[in-house]
């Protein structure tokens, strides 16, 4: 007989861990928003979306404060001057910025953050936050499918769709700067791959800050 509780009754062991910053980039329309929403739903409180500030007009179906903090150019410039952004960039003629607040405090407590930023944002965040950053680039299965997704979304005028298609090649040229590259062909397959990347990155020895004490205890 043993006094240890049966495995099913024991609370799972959770070692202290440093959080990470998961960055998703892709050409417009390849599926970042779709994959992000699925990840946030599946991961619950353990993953927090970094909501960017933008000067682009709100789209039908978007919610201010959930999808973006929508603002005007003078207010955005004021935030830049006040140092409110971890990074910011101009994309498609609009300004986008990642708010500095919240992220650094949460990382130390094991909170993970999700960022939907372009290649400029990915580079700047990687420079600012080093090994806390994990970058994933999503590719469409073909250019024809990308165009059909942009049109199918039904949120952008014809000239905007054409502009985004013209920019797609330039954005895709940055694929080799990312840690992981996933083709978003079938949504559920792509989502499973991105979730696997997140799970593996969480297990990295260097993020598991509780391992030193834990292994010391095991070997005592
Ligand atoms: N650098 C940077 N890029 C951002 C930020 N927020 C969004 N973006 C990028 O801006 C681009 C345009 O985003 P959006 O207007 O939502 O269009 P969509 O990607 O077609 O849905 C995308 O490549 C986003 O990843 C940010 O805070 N910083
Ligand atoms: N694997 C997929 N197969 C078919 N349609 C997709 C897939 N992934 C995304 N979509 C659709 O394509 C459109 C663009 O996706 P979205 O997530 O808004 O892209 P992004 O955020 O990269 O601009 C949306 O209408 C979305 O429902």
- Sequence-distant (6+) residues with CB within 8 A of 153 are 29
Atom of ligand 2 nearest to the CA of 116: 21
All structural domains of the chain with their residue ranges = 18-205
Per-10-residue mean pLDDT of the chain, 220 residues long, equals: 64 92 96 96 95 94 94 97 94 92 84 95 94 97 95 84 90 97 98 98 96 95
Per-residue pLDDT at 181: 98
| Backbone phi, psi, residue 100, to 5° | -75, -30
Nearest residue (CA) to ligand 2, atom 13: 149
Residue 1: per-residue pLDDT = 46
Q: Is 62 exposed, middle or buried (0-12, 13-18, 19+ CB in 10 A)?
A: middle
Strand locations in 100-193 (E): 112-116, 133-139, 180-183
SS3 state at 13: coil
Q: Which residues are part of a known binding site for ATP?
A: 26-33
pLDDT in tens, 5-56: 666 678 888 899 999 999 999 999 999 999 999 999 999 999 999 999 999 9
End-to-end CA distance of the chain: 25
Q: Is 26 in the pocket of ligand 2 (CB under 6 A)?
A: yes
Q: Tell me which CATH code domain 18-205 carries.
A: 3.40.50.300
In terms of residues, how long is the chain?
220
**In this structure, which residue's CA is closest to atom 27 in ligand 1?**
97
Which amino acids bring their CB within 6 angstroms of ligand 1? 25, 28-29, 32-33, 52, 56, 87, 89, 91-92, 96-98, 116-118, 120-121
């Amino acid at each position: 007989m043993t006094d240890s509780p049966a495995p099913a009754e024991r609370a799972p062991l959770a070692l202290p861990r440093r959080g990470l910053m998961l960055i998703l980039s892709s050409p417009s329309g390849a599926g970042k928003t779709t994959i992000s929403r699925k990840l946030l739903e599946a991961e619950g409180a353990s993953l927090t979306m970094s909501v960017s500030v933008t000067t682009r007009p709100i789209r039908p179906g978007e919610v201010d404060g959930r999808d973006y903090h929508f603002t005007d150019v003078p207010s955005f410039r004021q935030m830049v001057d006040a140092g409110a952004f971890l990074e910011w960039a101009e994309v498609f003629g609009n300004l986008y910025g990642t708010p500095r607040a919240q992220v650094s405090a949460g990382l130390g407590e094991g909170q993970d953050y999700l960022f939907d930023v372009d290649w400029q944002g990915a580079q700047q965040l990687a420079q600012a936050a080093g090994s806390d950053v994990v970058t994933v680039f999503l590719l469409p299965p073909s250019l024809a499918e990308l165009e059909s997704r942009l049109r199918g979304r039904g949120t952008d005028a014809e000239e905007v769709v054409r502009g985004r298609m013209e920019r797609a090649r330039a954005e895709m040229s940055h694929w080799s700067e990312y840690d992981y590259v996933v083709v978003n062909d079938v949504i559920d397959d792509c989502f499973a791959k991105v979730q696997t990347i997140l799970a593996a990155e969480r297990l990295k020895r260097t993020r598991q800050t509780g391992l030193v004490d834990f292994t010391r205890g095991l070997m005592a």
